[in-house]
Structure 1
Amino acid sequence: MNKKRISLATKLSIGVSLIILLVVALAVNLTAHFFSQYCLDNFYESAETAISEFSDSISMFFDSKKVELNVFAESDQVKAADESIHSFVNETGTIQILGYEKSPVEEEIRKICKSFAKNDKDIAEIYLGTKWGGYATNFDSSMNGGYDPRKRGWYETANKGNGKVMITDAFASTVGTTVVGITRCAYNEGGEFIGNASIEVSLETLNTILEGMKLGKDSFFMMIQKDGIVLADTGIKKSNFKKISEIGIPDLETFFTGSETKGSIVVPGGKYSKYITKKITNPKTDYQIIALCPYDTVYATFFTTLNTTVSICVIFAIIVALGTALVTRKVIRPLKTIRNNISDNAAQIAQGKANLTDRIFIKSKNEIGDVADSFNVFIEKLQDIIRNMKQTKTALNLAGSKLNDSTSETMAAITQISASIEDVGKNLSSQNGEVSKTASSVKHILGSISSLEELVASQAESVEGASSAVEQMIGNISEVNRSVEKMAASFSVLEADAQSGAKTQEELQNQITEIDNQSKLLSEANAVIASIAEQTNLLAMNAAIEAAHAGEAGKGFAVVADEIRKLSETSSTQSKTIGEQLNRIQNTIGTVVEATQKGVQGYAHLANEIHETDSLVRHIRAAMTEQQEGSTQITTALHGMNDSTQQVQNASKEMTADSRTIMNEISLLQNKSSNMQQGIREMSASAEKINLLGNSLSEISRLMEDSIGKMGQQVDQFEV
């Protein structure tokens, strides 16, 4: 039954395809790993850029509102506020603001409030709450009775600032919208506290900017207050102004409260189950701006590239496999011819019809062609062997006949040989006795020589061991002496380096002292800059007040005054920073001076220690030189003893060798005599066996003729 086989071409094609697929899989995995990381890093970089720009917009937005509030709080109208401003504290019901009579002071404050609200569309309401409970605003609608500005959150936040502009958390304003308050304390011309001025701004401008930002398909942004209130959500509008714990995304709440600035969250029941996130905290408001982008969007380019790469690689693997199969089939076609020829010959041999004249003809000039040529050479050699076997068959038949004739003649000769063997045996027994006596005498002499040789050998080993030990000791002393010389040279260099280091430390100390003097001059210059910045700030404040007095005509001048004030604040801040850095530098210079002084002292101490160590090393070197000379003399004497012992040992060995040679010759003679005697006995026994075997040779000759005949029948099957 033929076995089910897979062709070599198929195996090779499958193997090549698997190797290609394995290499491709490895390359795709490596590419996927790095490219997926690139997509993620690219998202984080883009998100950070976008969020940072938006965070800067938030800072600029609130900076501009702070400037407006400062101008409002420093205006003459606000500074003139008094008890005449209407209070709703002791009233009930709904009070129409336009329905009651207002004092001239309140009217002036309402005018400037309306002017600010008209010029800035981001202002939801601008107002002043006095310490007497009065409330003046730009709105003309109604107020609820019992409203006390002093108990409102924005008022308490302003009190905490003590004149500094503060930003409140988001809250519901009196006009019904959710706003953020910018508030500060207000003072009259005498510097007395009169109440708190505040601007409520809508975050619609920031929301509009946030909605215009995109990081990819279905990405969105969230702006969350530090207490967890969602101020803006461009993706899920219904979550605006809700607590983050109320919108049903636990991962988002964890990400908001955690310290990580990037990560991923799962959104239950959303269009996308997983989002990649990045957050930045605005330093001015502590708002967290979070970018959320679907996982599929972040890795969209990666998935597209991966699918395309895999498809191309699979197609390439299929093409290579098909090409390999075609090439392999063409290459192994001659191999099939060889296989068929060998199979046919084997079948013919099995049937007893072997033809050794067939040959394989292949023109391939490669390994397969070499196999065909080798097979042809093998068949030719086998043909020659079979031909020779046929020729030998006839010769063997003739030899068998001659062997039968010679057997009879051999039997007669064996009878005569047996008689001669008995005479030789008697003579050998007598000779063997004399040889045994000589062997005993030689053994006694050999024992005495062996004892002498052992004593001489023991002495030679002792002398040689002592000589080797002394030579090794001299070598160690030489090595130690060389090491000591290197140490002496190294200590000289170290001493010079230590002295040079001490000089360098002294020069460094002088340069550091000069730097300390220069830093003190810089501190004096920084103090002058701080004084100039303070005077510039006062000048900018006066200019802002004058611009407020000028009304509409002073707007441009107010902007210039504000820029001058910013420049002054920046200069003052930088001056403080420079002063702090100069103080740190001076402290560091003092520390370096102390360390340098210690380094100079350390170098001097090190130079003294190195000099003393160098003197000790020189004493050791002199002692080692004397030790080496004494060891050399001992070695010379031991060499002389070793030579004398060696001569005695050589003579003893020669005597032993000669005695053993004699003993060996006697032993050989004795053994030969014994062997000859034993051989005679064996020859006698063998002669009897030969006599018996002679009768068998005739039968063997007949059997050999039969075997040669059968072998001839097998050989005749081959056609040569």
Structure 2
Amino acid sequence: MSDKNKNLAKSVGFIAVLAVVAVCVLYFSAFFVFRSKARKTLSQTAQLKYLEFESNLKTELLLAVQMAKSPTIVEYMKTPSDPELSKRAQAEIYSFQESFKGKNSFSISDNDLLYYSNGKVLYTLDKSDPANSWFDSCLALSDPYTFIVSYDIALKKNMLWVDAIVRDEAGKGIGLIGTGINLTDFVDQTYRNLDSSLTMFFYNMDKEITGATDVSLLENHALITSQLRELGNAGNLFPSAPEIYSTSKGEYILYPVPSVNWTMVIFQPYNLSQFFGNAIVPLAAILILVFFTLVALMGVHLVHPLNEVKETVDSISQGNADLTRRLDVNVKTTLKVIPAIVNGFNGFIAKLQAIIGTVKVSKDNLSASGSRLHSCIDDTVSSIELLNSNIGGMSSSIGRQTDSVSATVQAVNRISGNIETLNRMVVNQSETVHEASSAIEQMVGNIQAVNNSIEEMSKSFTGLDENADLGMSKLDEVNSRISQIQEQSEMLQNANLIISSIAEQTNLLAMNAAIEAAHAGEAGKGF
């Protein structure tokens, strides 16, 4: 298998392993995020619904207790046979009755045992009947009130009968007074604005459902475990404090309602849309991790060849500048631009080496030309010295000629016979002048040769300077490309920092939006 195929197989294997790990991390992250959000939503919803139920119920209970403490009603319970007192007491009870949501009331005194309902006598309580033992039991309680919850099939309502105990100055129970509270209305009001993804029930100590959207469950006294079967595995269905259970189908919260000895249960099933919605943040984190991993791998494949380029450039720039060194063309990298840079660098060094070689040859030629020039200068100096010597001889000859001419003028008569001798001397003088002229022409030729050599040296130096400038420009171009690669790497790092910041801000905004939506209830669903 070739190196290329091996690298491809390694990359595919690494990506496959990374994908499996990413899927596992994504699943478990989304699961834990969903469970955390579900538990938070259940806790907030249960607390809100509990407060709604309790606030409405406690208003009725406190009103019944306040009615039992009325001085007029206390006096009436002591002497129910007083017509005037009975009239005033029934009027006050009626005023309280209008304040109750159920618009009903009842009362019974221990002195006459007459059972009044909405101001009318319905029957006389027979305390000898064991079924009516509840009356004495209520009067013996120390609590300000007691209650009985029952489902009225005729009314199809769940009724809470509040029995407020009327006490005399000694604290002894002398009668009962109260109202019937329609718990079905309270429960229905509690179901308003409930998230459609949630399921909520109320049940009593017998596990019978006492609050549900389906009234038939109340009529049939259905058990809570028949609707939410997974609760059968719960350790305690009647906790004293809120408890959350995780099951294979979803999350449960059990919230006690001590005022009526009920328990409220809210169930949120696992939802694929919410599950994958919670996977967005982990998915973004995984994508960022994969991105940084790929960037790191690309950085390794990019930096290693560039380090080799840098080391080679440093070795060339130091010491004796070994221009015979070359970069490895078969460097392992996934970027096609790196081999191109390596080939370009090697080509540049080869050209620079050729230029330096040409400069060395020109230098050797220039040295040889200098030697020849020095030899020509020496010859020229010798010729000039010889010329000076000839000129001196000529001067001496001219002096002698002058003397001879003078002697000839003075002794013209004497030298008339020596004319031929003088002619010979003139010929010799002419030859000497001709030799001097030849020497001067040779000297001018030598000077012209020196000027030509100087021009050739100037041209050689000019070519050398141009070749050096070309090498410097190529080196500047390589440095510029390396700087551009460094700037692009810094831009990638800045982009990664911006993506991480946006992910963190998106995560905070999503969490704040979920919290605000939970607080806003129905109005926050669209948010």
- TM-score, length-normalised on structure 2? 0.46
**Which structure has greater helix proportion?**
1
Using CA pairs under 8 Å that are at least 6 residues apart, name the structure with larger relative contact order, 1 or 2.
Answer: 1
- TM-score, length-normalised on structure 1? 0.35
